[in-house]
């Protein structure tokens, strides 16, 4: 006998999610609205866990929890639960939710809703609640109500409806209706694939076995399809209903199962066929059983309830739900301080919770890992509430960083690593990441999608807010002229930045010393605190200028008593102007040597005698401390030149006298000419200045 099993058999994703959610639910105050699926064995397994099945929302107490099964519920149920403080555990299939959304939107647009499906099916009854109950339900392509003829129609279908029948209904409605007909093909794609696959198997097999609950709509559809193409179709709700004698003479048998049928039930049918000697001899059976075994309904991280069947020195033998095959559970995976087989013999027949640790190459279960999982789930709840957590980055992919937190994989998208663009992801490998969860996926592949950027951005925003608040307080309590205390934080070539009550102020280098400095460090020490005077405040641009020299005495303030008229000073020529030269007596104090006080002889400009940088001696001939003025004389310390005697005034010798004065004037002009050449009577001005220095 050749055995063919449909590729797409067993739980669909929506049903699998609903069943796994119900089986793993630990809430003892939870209710299920209607049977989770149309499968007696599964319903019994859920009931055995203590979950209560109710047919009406009125039977769910206020403040408890309720599971909405994959078929969906009317829209109003969500509002009722919210008002009654009932926690909703929504297991509505994604395809059903899509249909609900279409129905609600089209109804709001004023279109008349037509639902292709069975009037009493829970999904159809739920859809009615998304269009105010104003819909036409069609289950027979030959029974289209004439009342929709003049209406704008929107057609949807029950997700498990017959695809062939739906096409016929669409065709007949389009023939009947005079106005627009909008068609939304809402049959679940897995339903369509199953129906196509069932048809193909039925065409090539001599007999067909359809496994699933007798009340399952999608399983009944598969039975109807198989019956159209095969004369020997057998409907089974479980393995116990299989009468092998009816199929033993067929050379080929196809097996399909509905979306609400656990893989384990199909496996049990195969195992029962395997018990027959004739079937065991076939090569195909072993392959089919192996295929079923590999297509386990379990997922990593799932908690399952198992029954203890044996206790040995190596550990336990357990039975999983919907299976008659024992699985070994190592003593190392039991949650006990020390394993004793005798203690577990008394517990044979009892159920224990186990965690699915591995799926391949073999199913591995653990009891002790549940405690770790519970601790992890507690952490998960905290993380889900927004608590920060840390992981070490273990690697990268094209989209971001990856890590692990217990049984959860952690993914940080590149844009969520930090504010701004991250070019090189590899530099984060091995680094600790501070994260906050954006999304937590607890079913299927458990994953936390997280962000470090939001934490860093919040901290930056907090710092900015704190800084702005400090700035406001700072500017509200500071005025020009205030004396403030500040710590020198850093130096630049143009000044020092000083922290005053946490705000950076600038002390320009020109405001550090009255005598001028080349470097900030000539006056101030980094890290040291000084007093400064507020010079300028620019609130708009958040700038404050402060000065250090303004609180220090100026050189002129110390000049009184230090310098007196008649003193001889030694200084450097720092500036030359047409009327004289300025001599730096000390840093901050300059004295003026008028051109007339440079030499006894007349000179045209000071630069003919003096150069900037020359060091000279001079006498203080006038001093005004208050006006910060000092007049100096170089010639006052030079020896006076010999004077030329003048002839006495004589009225009688007027012409001679005038001639004598003319001669002296001519001689003077000649002497001035000689000065300009650098000598007079054999003595240069430089010699005179040198002589003045020596006389000091």
Cite the active site residues.
Answer: 123
Contact 186, 99 (CB under 8 A): yes
Residue 266 CA to residue 273 CA, distance in Å, equals 11
Q: Which residues of 593-610 are buried (b: 16+ CB within 10 A; e: fewer)?
A: bebebbbbbebeebeebb
Please check whether residue 231 is in contact with residue 246, taking contact to mean a CB–CB distance below 8 angstroms.
no
129, 130, 131, 134: CA torsion to nearest 10: -20
Residues 117, 138: Cα–Cα separation, whole Å? 6
DSSP type of residue 291: H
Helix (H) or strand (E) holding 83: helix 76-83
Structure tokens at 325: 């095959």
Tokens of 234: 């057998």
User: Is the Cβ–Cβ distance between 354 and 365 less than 8 Å?
Assistant: yes
Label the pairing between strands 629-633 and 589-594. parallel
First to last CA, the chain: 134
The DSSP annotation for 216-257 comes to -HHHHHHHHHHHHH-S-EEEESSGGG--GGGTTT-SEEEEEE
Angle between helices 189-204 and 163-176 (to 10 degrees): 120
CA distance 686 to 695: 14
Query: Measuring CA to CA, which residue among 551, 569, 667, 683 is closest to residue 621?
Result: 569
Dihedral sign from CA coordinates of 422, 426, 431, 434: positive
Phi, psi of 558 (to 5 degrees): -100, 0
Residue 361: asked if its preceding bond is cis (omega within 30°), the reply is yes
| Bridge pairing between strands 112-116 and 395-396 | unpaired
Q: Is 565 within 8 Å of 622 (Cβ atoms)?
A: yes
Residue 88 to residues 29, 81, 96, Cα–Cα distance (Å)? 12, 7, 17
- Residue pair 479/537 in contact by the 8 Å Cβ criterion: yes
Lookup: tokens for 117: 């499906």
Dihedrals phi, psi of 687, to nearest 5 degrees: -65, -35
CA atoms within 13 A on the CB side of 259: 26
Overall size of the chain counted in residues? 696
For the chain, how big is the Rg over CA atoms in Å?
52
d(CA 573, CA 301): 91
Rama region for 406: left / alpha / beta (φ>0; ψ in -120 to 50; rest): left
Partners of 530 in beta bridges: 486
The angle at the Cα of 278, spanning 276 to 280, to the nearest 5 degrees, equals: 70
Tell me which residue has tokens 């050749």.
Answer: 2
Q: Phi and psi at residue 515, in whole multiples of 5°?
A: -95, 0
Q: CB-based contacts of 223: which residues, under 8 Å, 6+ apart?
A: 210, 233, 235
Distance between CA 163 and CA 169 in Å, rounded? Answer: 10
């Amino acid at each position: 006998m050749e055995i063919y099993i449909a590729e797409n058999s067993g739980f669909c994703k929506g049903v699998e999610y609903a069943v796994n959610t119900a089986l793993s639910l630990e809430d003892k105050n939870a209710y299920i609205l209607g049977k989770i699926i149309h499968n007696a064995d599964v319903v019994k397994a859920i009931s055995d866990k203590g979950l209560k099945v109710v047919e009406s929302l009125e039977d769910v107490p206020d403040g408890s929890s309720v599971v909405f099964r994959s078929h969906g519920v009317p829209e109003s149920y969500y509002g009722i639960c919210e008002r009654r403080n009932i926690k909703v555990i929504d297991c509505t299939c994604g395809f059903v939710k899509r249909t609900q959304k279409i129905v609600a939107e089209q109804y709001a647009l004023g279109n008349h809703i037509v639902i292709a499906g069975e009037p009493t099916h829970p999904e159809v009854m739920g859809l009615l609640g998304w269009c105010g109950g104003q819909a036409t339900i069609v289950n027979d392509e030959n029974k289209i109500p004439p009342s929709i003829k003049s209406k704008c129609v929107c057609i949807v279908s029950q997700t498990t409806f017959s695809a062939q029948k739906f096409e016929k209904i669409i065709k007949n409605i389009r023939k009947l209706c005079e106005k627009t007909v909008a068609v939304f093909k809402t049959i679940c794609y897995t339903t369509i694939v199953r129906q196509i696959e069932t048809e193909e198997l039925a065409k090539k097999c001599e007999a067909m076995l359809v496994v699933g609950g007798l009340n399952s709509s999608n399983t009944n559809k598969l039975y109807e399809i198989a019956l159209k193409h095969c004369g020997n179709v057998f409907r089974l709700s479980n393995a116990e209903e299989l009468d092998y004698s009816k199929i033993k003479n067929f050379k080929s048998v196809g097996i399909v199962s509905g979306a609400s049928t656990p893989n384990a039930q199909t496996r049990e049918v195969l195992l029962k066929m395997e018990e027959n000697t004739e079937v065991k001899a076939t090569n195909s059976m072993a392959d089919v059983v192996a295929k079923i075994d590999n297509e386990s309904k379990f997922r990593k991280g799932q908690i399952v309830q198992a029954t203890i069947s044996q206790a040995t020195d190596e550990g336990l033998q357990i039975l999983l739900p919907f299976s008659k095959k024992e699985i070994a559970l190592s003593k190392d995976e039991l949650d006990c301080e020390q394993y004793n087989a005798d203690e577990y013999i008394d517990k044979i027949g009892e159920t224990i919770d186990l965690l699915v640790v591995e799926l391949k190459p073999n199913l591995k279960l653990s009891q002790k890992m549940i405690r770790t999982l519970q601790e992890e789930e507690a952490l998960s709840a905290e993380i889900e509430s927004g608590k920060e957590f840390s992981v070490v980055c273990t690697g990268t992919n094209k989209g971001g960083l990856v890590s692990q937190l217990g049984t959860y994989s952690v993914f940080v998208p590149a844009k969520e690593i930090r504010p701004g663009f991250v070019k090189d992801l590899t530099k984060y490998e091995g680094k600790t990441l501070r994260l906050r969860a954006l999304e937590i996926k607890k079913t299927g592949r458990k994953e936390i999608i997280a962000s470090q950027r939001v934490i860093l951005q919040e901290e930056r925003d907090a710092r900015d807010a704190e800084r702005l608040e400090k700035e406001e307080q700072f500017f509200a309590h500071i005025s020009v002229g205030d004396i403030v205390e500040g710590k020198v934080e850093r130096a630049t070539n143009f000044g020092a930045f000083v922290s005053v009550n946490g705000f950076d102020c600038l002390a320009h280098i020109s405001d550090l010393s009255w005598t001028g400095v080349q470097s900030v460090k000539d006056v101030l020490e980094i890290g040291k605190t000084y007093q400064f005077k507020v010079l300028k405040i620019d609130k708009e641009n958040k700038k404050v200028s402060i000065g250090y020299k303004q609180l220090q005495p100026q050189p002129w303030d110390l000049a009184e008593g230090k310098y007196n008229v008649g003193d001889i000073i030694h200084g450097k020529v720092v500036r030359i102007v047409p009327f004289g030269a300025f001599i730096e007596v000390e840093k901050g104090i300059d004295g003026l040597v008028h051109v007339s006080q440079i030499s006894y002889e007349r000179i045209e400009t000071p630069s003919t005698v003096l150069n900037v940088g020359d060091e000279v001696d001079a006498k203080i001939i006038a001093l005004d401390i208050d006006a910060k003025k000092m007049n100096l004389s170089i010639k006052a310390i030079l020896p006076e030149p010999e004077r030329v005697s003048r002839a006495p005034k004589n009225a009688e010798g007027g012409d001679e006298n005038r001639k004598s004065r003319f001669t002296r004037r001519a001689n003077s002009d000649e002497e001035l000419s000689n000065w300009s050449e650098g000598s007079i009577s054999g003595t240069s001005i430089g010699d005179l200045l040198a002589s003045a220095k020596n006389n000091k």
